[in-house]
Structure 1
Amino acid sequence: MGTVAAKIALSILIFERTGSPLLSALVLVCSFLPYALGGILLSSVADRFPARRVLVGCDVLSAVCIALMLIPGLPVGALLGLLLVTGVIAPIFAGARAASLAQLLPAELFPVGRSLLRAISQVTVLTGFAVGAAAVAAVGAPWLLAVDVVTFLVSALVIGFGTPYSPAGERNRGTVRDSWIGLRYVFGHPRLRPLILLTWVAPAFSSVPDGLAVAYSAQTGAAPAAAGALFTGYAAGTVLGELVVARFNSSLRRRLVVPLLLASQLPAIAFLAKPSVPVAALVLAVSGAGYAFNQAVDPMILEAADPAYRGRLFTVQTSGLMAIQGVSIALAGVVGSFVAPNLTIAVAGVCGTIVTLLIAYRAVVRPAELAAHDQRWLAPPLRPRV
């Protein structure tokens, strides 16, 4: 929550200093793009060192970067550079956290644990935006950045004293080389590759309405501020879907992968009818609920992955997800400049449905069919009657 609020504060601070909407918007760009860099070059950090040490180190480094932003008169380039550093650190933290979660929880509870983290993330993003905007108006951007420094330090203390020690992995090669080997492992593994792609592609298409929320609100004749209802609808649906699906057993979750994927993509096609903002918010809530398909995919990834690569795997997964969503939102904005926003969203729903189903067949349906086929062939023969 502190980080989301701080991004708002930094964006406002840069706009107040420069009066440039472009430089202010670069705050969000600098928040998305470094995820790809951190995931490619530094993913092995999550495997090379004990998870607790990595998590605490990431928090402390992020606190230092935010604290340096408080230096009076610091150039805008330096502010954005410090934000880039925190963006590179973020996927390493997320990868180490997911890998440590796999050690702290039994396999059957791992998907529920990650589901809880996703639900918390959605709630804190919404709260962070609301709190951030109000806090900047009340106390000013510098004080809000100072609060973010405190949130990082509190997080470091909670992790340092509240989580158990876990051993480090092997460190036979350099960090970048180990990261590259992990990347090759993820995309060279025939079972992992389609699963990871599925966790990227589905939200990439379903995030298109986020990039066009303001434009769509204007298209329907509503005030631009009404776009907040669209953001809230998707986030609320995501939280509700995660909480409901978490109550199902693992077998039912796996059977629901394809229906949930369809729920995440098909509702966007309803934008062809150009629904009102309240109805569109309900449509996006259904789409957000479909994001719970990850609760079935997460244990499949865990089963397929070598434990020695878990940190790199989850770092790559997180960084790729953030990067592809950033690109998707940017492309939606470009296309929406030439095509009506409702048509752009509907086309994204059609394309998303087709692409995710094709990947789901490779990732989930076909492996299940092959496994059933193997079981039939490997079943012991009946004993002959004597």
Structure 2
Amino acid sequence: MHGKPTPRSLFSSTEFRAAWLAELVSFFGDQLARVALAILVFDRTDSAALTGLTYALTYVPSVVGALTLSHLADRRPRRSVLMTVDICRAIAAGAMVIPGIPLGVLCLLVSVMSFLGGPYRAAHLALLREILSAEQYPIGMSVRQITMQAAQIFGFAFGGVVSSVFTPRACLAFDATTFVASFGLYWCFVKSRPAAGTPEGTGSVAAGLTVLWAEPRRRAIFLSTALGFFYITPEAVAAPYASALGLGSVWVGVLLASTGVGAVAGLWAFHRFVPAHRYADHLPLLCFTTGLPLVAVAIQGGGIYLAMVSFAVSNALWCIQVVVSVSTLVELLPDDRRAQGMGVASAMNLTAQGVGTGGAGLLAQWQSPVFALSFMGAASAVAGLWPGLLWLRSTRKVAALPAPDSA
């Protein structure tokens, strides 16, 4: 390929268009389903606790699935893994539409869908590296992150509209059709490739951790995924923060929407001004600075508008860090362990976010939402020093190694 890769050049590839669209439509459907499930469970139980538990089931099992099944996308053709997961999730989502389905069965089906989402993401990230060259992959990750942010914003909003105008089950039925559409896109437009061929004995969680921990640069990126513990704070305390300012629920949505807008703008600017081959150079700075904008909410008199800006900037830096980490890690992992390594790193990130949500909520309850935001923002900079300095040290060692003898 000649010249600098651009999003337009990526979309000239039929395979990339199909794989990108397959993930996008199923992800959009998932956002609608999350809104529908929350409404459906609350209408049937009138319990905020059960509603929150059901919503958590759309995330938590994904961690277990990523840890335990991601290696299958190295042992089996990745396209086949993705298509199998799509069919299984379509069946599960379709079953949730059945009228009068018991709440326990509904929760089980939600857990199955979430569980399968873990290996799906790992397989998809690894498949994209087969479709795209090393030079194109970072741009592909930027495009993916931007569209996922936009899909999340519109998915939540559209889910509320569909659930009110029609029924929550209409959202679940739509979610099931998105998985069928995703299956069809992979089937029709993505080539079948042989499995990467992971040897036996590498399917355990310990083996996945080892492949990330054994090499210092991989270890630095793996450690950086744990910083999601701090970065998730705006989402965790947006509601109590708005309430503390005496503002209504509409402002909670505005605060959360500002994070998505910031991410889209920040990712576009990063792609526009930073060459793809220089992405990894910015990892240490991103680890140190991503949470720092949250400290600004402690400024007296800042109010809701300053919070919107700090939320937007912090989330923009976080999304850039994700793009940098994913596009760098995928090159550092051997192809026959790529999906497993990506799956374990994803599981770490999701776990950190889940625990961080609880931690930020406790801090907000113990002190105040402003304290939780500013403390977690400052603490993220301190915690980010470890992966940042480890990355700098390890890359300098690699650069100092003698070049191989061309003779």
TM-score of the pair, normalised by structure 1: 0.91
* Residue 372 (structure 1) shift: 3.9
**1:94 aligns to 2:136 (yes or no):** no
**1:328 aligns to 2:356 (yes or no):** yes
* Residue 61 (structure 1) shift: 0.5
* Residue 255 (structure 1) shift: 3.5
In 1: Cα distance, 2:203 partner to 2:342 partner? 17
Offset from partner CA, 1:97-154 (integer Å, 9 cap, x none): 0001111111011111122211111111111110001110000111211111111111
Aligned 8 A contact 1:201 1:356 in 2: no
> Relative to structure 1, is the Cα distance of residues 260 and 219 closer, same or farther in structure 2, using a 3 angstrom cutoff?
same
Identity %: 26
> Relative to structure 1, is the Cα distance of residues 101 and 193 closer, same or farther in structure 2, using a 3 angstrom cutoff?
same
* Residue 93 (structure 1) shift: 0.7
* Residue 277 (structure 1) shift: 1.4
Offset from partner CA, 1:236-283 (integer Å, 9 cap, x none): 111222222223213443333334344411101112125311221111
**1:15 aligns to 2:42 (yes or no):** yes
**1:272 aligns to 2:281 (yes or no):** no
Q: Supply the AA of the counterpart residue of 1:242.
A: L
Q: Supply the AA of the counterpart residue of 2:386.
A: L
* Residue 178 (structure 1) shift: 4.7
SS in 2 for 1:260: helix
> Relative to structure 1, is the Cα distance of residues 15 and 74 closer, same or farther in structure 2, using a 3 angstrom cutoff?
same
In 2: Cα distance, 1:315 partner to 1:349 partner? 27
Q: Supply the AA of the counterpart residue of 2:280.
A: R
Unaligned runs of 5+ in 1: 381-386
SS in 1 for 2:227: helix
In 1: Cα distance, 2:282 partner to 2:293 partner? 17
1:350 pairs, out of 371, 378, 382, with 378
In 2: Cα distance, 1:256 partner to 1:182 partner? 26
State how 1:307-326 maps to structure 2 within 5 Å: 307-326=335-354
SS in 2 for 1:70: coil
2:268 pairs, out of 240, 243, 248, with 243
* Residue 317 (structure 1) shift: 1.9
1:46 pairs, out of 58, 67, 73, with 73
State how 1:57-206 maps to structure 2 within 5 Å: 57-170=84-197, 173=200, 177-178=203-204, 180-198=206-224, 200-206=225-231
* Residue 379 (structure 1) shift: 10
In 1: Cα distance, 2:339 partner to 2:241 partner? 39
Aligned 8 A contact 2:196 2:335 in 1: no
* Residue 202 (structure 1) shift: 3.1
In 2: Cα distance, 1:299 partner to 1:15 partner? 40
* Residue 299 (structure 1) shift: 3.9
In 1: Cα distance, 2:244 partner to 2:347 partner? 33
- Look up the match of 2:59: 32
Aligned 8 A contact 2:230 2:356 in 1: yes
> Relative to structure 1, is the Cα distance of residues 254 and 312 closer, same or farther in structure 2, using a 3 angstrom cutoff?
closer
1:225 pairs, out of 244, 250, 253, with 250
Aligned 8 A contact 1:186 1:193 in 2: yes
Aligned 8 A contact 2:297 2:303 in 1: no
Q: Supply the AA of the counterpart residue of 1:34.
A: P
In 2: Cα distance, 1:360 partner to 1:328 partner? 20
- Look up the match of 2:280: 254
Corresponding residue pairs, total: 375
* Residue 206 (structure 1) shift: 1.4
Offset from partner CA, 1:302-360 (integer Å, 9 cap, x none): 33211110011111222222222122112211221111110111000111011112211
- Pick which of 185-194 and 240-249 moved more: 185-194
**1:234 aligns to 2:259 (yes or no):** yes
In 2: Cα distance, 1:84 partner to 1:320 partner? 18
> Relative to structure 1, is the Cα distance of residues 328 and 161 closer, same or farther in structure 2, using a 3 angstrom cutoff?
same
Aligned 8 A contact 1:205 1:348 in 2: yes
Q: Supply the AA of the counterpart residue of 1:80.
A: C
RMSD: 2.0
SS in 1 for 2:365: coil
Aligned 8 A contact 1:43 1:179 in 2: no
Aligned 8 A contact 2:198 2:337 in 1: no
